[in-house]
Amino acid sequence: MANHFFLIFITTIAITRLWLWETRLSCPTIKGFRLHHYMYGLGLIVLALVFNNLFMYAVGVGLFVDEIFLFVMFRGWKWPDPCHEYNSWKSALGILILIAIVFLARNFLVAIF
């Protein structure tokens, strides 16, 4: 189960990064508030816990982890150039470190299922 979780998690990050690299879409903005994919990830995590759904949980954690490094690096959701910073070497290094942490903690992360 833990390896299944990690496979879905890593696939989510790969698809998200590839999609955003190709499309260069910016975040939707509602009345000046920018929606980022880590927010969707948090929502999916909550829904996954309510419905006891490992797939939804892994996708949610993937979306959350993929962008949370930038949130921490810039101390909020207003970083200067989202596309440039998201595809920077700092972001790549941060996501690799977070992927390694999730890999090491995968058994703990799926213990609730």
pLDDT tens profile 89-103:
777 888 999 999 999
Domain of 31, in residue numbers? 2-109
Q: What is the pTM of this model?
A: 0.82
Interhelix angle 37-51/54-73, rounded to 10 degrees, is: 150
Give the mean pLDDT of the chain: 84
List the one residue out of 47, 76, 81, 59 whose CA is nearest residue 14. 59
The total number of structural domains that make up the chain: 1
Single-letter residue type at 41? G
Q: 89 exposed, middle or buried (CB, 10 Å; 0-12, 13-18, 19+)?
A: exposed
